[in-house]
């Protein structure tokens, strides 16, 4: 029995030891090797990375991507390779990979953004001019290899699109609500509009009559003032000799023209006021007759 228990315990410890070993081996390959691997980059590996970068640039050009930045990085990679060969200022072949890896990463980013732009373009239907302008800015930034700006502008474009969709949804909800409200209460709405129209008409007529009375009063006052001014001007010219004949003629012409305008307009306004009063008097008579009839019927 004891050997059996010992065997079980030993098996457990063995499994734990193997598991610990596998876990640490995984960590070593994930961290330690990555740290030491930079020291193991050879000239052949650096040249291979440059060759792959050249293929990336060719592929990008064939797909009509702008590659100015990549070409600059490739030039720097080749320059760094030459410096590493002579060990100039401690430059190593691993430094070449800084540029080639950047080229590889930009390729991934470029194709990702290209696909994203094509997808987002379908959202332009119904978008406002301002939102469309943001999308155009994103396309411009992409063509100029400003990938960070492109991503930011596409995010702004999405936010703007979602905002417009939300506003459109709210507006559509309001329209539906208004339509349902009108369909449900249309008879009351029509009655309300009729009442408002009738009340507005009589209010306007009363206001119009008041304006008419004020205008007639002002014209009559102005006529009296003009008459006094003409008398005063005649006195200053012929009795007191304070003004010249030219000044006299100018003043009198101005006063007479305005007096003539008042004489033409005033009768028209008074006639309109008379119509208001006659209509009011007629309405009173009609109302009185109706009241008399009702009294007789009782």
Its pTM stands at 0.48
Residue range 156-181: mean pLDDT, rounded: 84
Determine contact, residues 131/80, Cβ cutoff 8 Å. Answer: no
Residue 292 pLDDT level (bands cut at 50, 70, 90): low
Residue range 23-40: mean pLDDT, rounded: 42
Residue 284 pLDDT level (bands cut at 50, 70, 90): low
Residue 164 is predicted with a pLDDT of: 92
Residue 28 pLDDT level (bands cut at 50, 70, 90): very low
Q: Per-residue pLDDT for 24 more than 50?
A: no
CA atoms within 13 A on the CB side of 76: 14
11-25, 32-46, 61-75, 169-183 — most confident range: 61-75
Task: Output 15 or 63, whichever has higher pLDDT.
Answer: 63
Dihedral of CA 113/115/118/123: which sign? negative
Residue 4 is predicted with a pLDDT of: 45
Residue 25 is predicted with a pLDDT of: 39
What values do phi and psi take at 7, rounded to 5? -65, -40
Residues 45 and 56: their CA atoms lie apart, in Å, by 16
Q: Per-residue pLDDT for 14 more than 80?
A: no
pLDDT of 189-228, one tens digit each? 888 888 888 777 667 767 787 888 888 999 889 989 999 9
End-to-end CA distance of the chain: 128
User: Of 2-11, 30-39, 79-88, which gets the smallest average pLDDT?
Assistant: 30-39
Q: What percentage of the chain exceeds 70 in pLDDT?
A: 79
What is the average pLDDT score of the chain? 82
Residue 176 is predicted with a pLDDT of: 74
């Amino acid at each position: 029995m004891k050997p059996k228990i010992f065997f079980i315990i030993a098996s457990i410890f063995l499994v734990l030891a193997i598991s610990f070993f596998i876990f640490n081996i995984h960590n070593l390959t994930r961290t330690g090797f990555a740290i030491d691997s930079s020291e193991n980059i050879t000239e052949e590996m650096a040249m291979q990375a440059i060759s792959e970068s050249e293929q990336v640039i060719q592929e990008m050009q064939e797909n009509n991507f702008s590659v100015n930045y990549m070409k600059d990085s490739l030039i720097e990679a080749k320059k760094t390779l030459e410096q590493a060969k002579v060990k100039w200022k401690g430059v190593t072949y691993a430094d070449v990979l800084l540029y080639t890896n950047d080229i590889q990463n930009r390729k991934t980013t470029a194709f990702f953004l290209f696909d994203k732009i094509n997808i987002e373009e379908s959202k332009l239907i119904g978008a406002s001019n301002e939102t469309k302008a943001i999308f155009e800015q994103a396309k411009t930034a992409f063509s100029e290899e400003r990938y960070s700006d492109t991503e930011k502008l596409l995010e702004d474009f999405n936010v703007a699109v979602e905002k417009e969709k939300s506003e459109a949804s709210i507006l559509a909800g309001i329209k539906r609500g208004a339509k349902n409200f009108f369909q449900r209460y249309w008879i009351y709405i029509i009655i309300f509009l009729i009442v408002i129209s009738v009340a507005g008409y009589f209010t306007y007529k009363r206001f119009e009559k008041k304006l008419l009375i004020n205008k007639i009063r002002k014209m009559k006052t102005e006529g009296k003032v003009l008459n006094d001014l003409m008398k005063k001007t005649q006195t200053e010219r012929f009795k007191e000799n304070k003004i010249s004949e030219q000044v006299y003629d100018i003043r009198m012409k101005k006063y007479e023209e305005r007096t003539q305008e008042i004489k033409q307009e005033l009768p028209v306004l008074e006639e309109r006021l008379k119509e208001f009063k006659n209509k009011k008097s007629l309405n009173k008579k009609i109302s009185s007759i109706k009241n008399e009839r009702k009294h007789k019927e009782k």
